[in-house]
Amino acid sequence: MTTVLDRLAGRRPVFSVEFFPPRDDADETVLWTAVRQLEPLDPAFVSVTYGAGGSSRERTIRTTGRIRRETTLTPVAHLAGVGHSRAELRNVVGWYADNGIRNVLAIRGDPPGGPAAEWVAHPDGVTYADEMVRLIGDLGAFCVGVAAFPHGHPESPDLETDVRRLLGKIRRGAHFAVAQLSFEPDYFLRLRDRLAALGCDVPLLPGVMPLTTRRTLAKSVELSGVSAPAAVAERLARYDDDPAGFRAEGIDVTTRVCDRLLAEGVRGLHFYTLNRSTATRELVRRLGLGPAVRDLQPCTAAAEPRS
């Protein structure tokens, strides 16, 4: 099966997308609309997340398997250690292998109470993501990704410690890393530079959230763990009562972030989609990513529910 490293090996920058598993039939329809609309743009890979505390494991497995069977896309399965024994984790990895899925993103995962809650390891489970990397590697030939944190993991005392923990995951066998999103490209670029200074050149992809609504702005703050820069917050605050204006300004802000990252030579951009496709498709076209984008049908904000 094609690996993430295969997909990142070209000379042109690429993009990838992240979905979360559907909660019900209505969510399933929304998700698969986004999958089908993004498929012609040939993302390097698509990943499917776990819910908080590993709560959506079965739906994650089912959705990833369906992408593998029914599309031309390269799926990356998330595997979170939270709440699971090592035996359960091995069973999930075995299921992925049996279904032809060889790309796995290994994360420790947040506790059920959220990122700020106390971490309590399963008595027969893992405590750190590097243990997840080793567990997966021991089970076969997988392409393993890990999470990276431009602002530092909440439990890391400082950025230097955090980058060394990332390096530890890579030395345990990780092949690539996907960064949590950052409003400011410099945080990601400094993380990349620190990693390179330690002699590590695995692909490191920045996370990007298209800013289309107040909800996506709030979600960006939640995922990054930091507030939006004052300049960005002020620009968007002018459109609090103007959804169309907010969306236009937010897409411009996101485009500038992506332009800077691409100018700095990143190998790809990882879009957090919230299971929608319109904003991602618009950004892909603006940035000149994807194959023959000029020949694809134009996208409009009315083509899907608002994100």
pLDDT grade, residue 47 (50/70/90)? very high
Catalytic status, residue 184: no
Cα 289 from chain centre: 17
Residues 6+ apart with CB under 8 A from 237: none
- Evaluate whether 71 touches 105 at the Cβ level (below 8 Å): no
Task: Kindly list the distances between the CA atom of residue 45 and the CA atoms of 137, 239, 288, in Å, as whole numbers in the listed order.
Answer: 20, 34, 17
Out of 18, 131, 184, 282, pick the active-site residue: 18
pLDDT grade, residue 80 (50/70/90)? confident
Q: What would the pLDDT profile of 26-40 be if each residue is shown by its tens digit?
A: 999 999 999 999 999
- CA dihedral (7, 263, 158, 20) positive or negative: negative
pLDDT at 51: 59
pLDDT at 108: 83
Residue 287 region by backbone torsions, left for phi larger than 0, else alpha for psi between -120 and 50, else beta: alpha
Burial of residue 11 (CB within 10 Å: 0-12, 13-18, 19+) is: exposed
Evaluate if residue 135 carries a pLDDT over 50: yes
What is the rounded average pLDDT for all residues in the chain? 88
Q: What count of other Cβ atoms lies within 10 Å of the Cβ of residue 259?
A: 13
pTM: 0.90
Q: What would the pLDDT profile of 159-198 be if each residue is shown by its tens digit?
A: 999 999 999 999 999 999 999 998 999 999 999 999 999 9
- Evaluate whether 274 touches 30 at the Cβ level (below 8 Å): no
pLDDT at 168: 94
Evaluate if residue 298 carries a pLDDT over 80: no
Q: What would the pLDDT profile of 261-270 be if each residue is shown by its tens digit?
A: 999 999 999 9
Report the percent of the chain where pLDDT is more than 70: 90
pLDDT grade, residue 302 (50/70/90)? very low
pLDDT at 127: 81
